[in-house]
Amino acid sequence: MKANIEKTFEVNQPIEKVWEFLSNPEKVVTCVPGAKLTEKVDDTHYKGTVSLKFGPVAASYNGQISIDELDDEQHIMKISGKGMDTKGKGSAGMVMDGQLTAKGPDLTEVGYKMEISVSGKLAQFGSRLIVDVSNQLADQFVSSFKAALETAPAPAAEAAAVREEAAAEPKDNAVNVFALIIGVIKAFFGRLFSSKPKQS
């Protein structure tokens, strides 16, 4: 079961500051929902865990993250990760390509493509929802990432939402299930009703 996600967003910060944050796994991992690093193997290899809970399926993955490419000049990176469910219920993998583009002295565009693959129970139960779930996770990442970097208060409501979300996160850093489900339901119905009116 695979899901592809492509997103771009802008951060009100100079490109070098964004790059410094993004290219440091120990910093960026704090923005990945449910993730934490447990061990640094070397400069490009890390071990970590990701905890996800979705409906009846709780999954905790133990895995490795490897930085396959890091181009400080072009601001291009490629990261891959794969992990096994700690209870032997499946596995998950991810390949991410990221690129930063300077849009102004204090404005940086972050673009990334992700391919997420899951096997096992999550793939079975989540096949209909996996894209939506992944999108929600990606959106949470963006919010946290922006919140962590942007000192200037961006739209107040959004920042507040991010703080609320962060506060609601359970201690074990598992993903906020309720917010996730609401988001997925919204996305689903959004799709249902957003089709264009018929052309006659």
Give the interface with another protein as residue ranges (CB under 8 A).
Answer: 1-2, 84-85, 87-91, 117-121, 123-125, 127-128, 198
3-state DSSP call for residue 21? Answer: helix
Distance CA 197, CA 89 (A): 44
Distance CA 149, CA 144 (A): 9
| Closer residue to another protein, CB minimum distance, 7 or 47 | 47
| Closer residue to another protein, CB minimum distance, 12 or 119 | 119
| Closer residue to another protein, CB minimum distance, 131 or 149 | 131
Tokens 């850093």 belong to which residue? Answer: 173
Minimum distance, C-beta of residue 29 to another protein, in the bound complex (Å): 25
Question: Which DSSP state fits 196?
Answer: P
Extract long-range pairs of 17-21: CB within 8 Å, 24+ residues apart.
17/149, 18/100, 18/108, 18/110, 18/149, 19/72, 19/75, 19/100, 21/145, 21/148, 21/149
Minimum distance, C-beta of residue 2 to another protein, in the bound complex (Å): 8
3-state DSSP call for residue 45? Answer: strand
Q: Euclidean distance between the first and final Cα of the chain, in Å? A: 38
| Closer residue to another protein, CB minimum distance, 45 or 128 | 128
Minimum distance, C-beta of residue 128 to another protein, in the bound complex (Å): 6
Minimum distance, C-beta of residue 198 to another protein, in the bound complex (Å): 7
| Closer residue to another protein, CB minimum distance, 4 or 127 | 127
Minimum distance, C-beta of residue 112 to another protein, in the bound complex (Å): 24
Distance CA 3, CA 78 (A): 17
Minimum distance, C-beta of residue 36 to another protein, in the bound complex (Å): 21
| Closer residue to another protein, CB minimum distance, 85 or 132 | 85
Tokens 């929600």 belong to which residue? Answer: 136
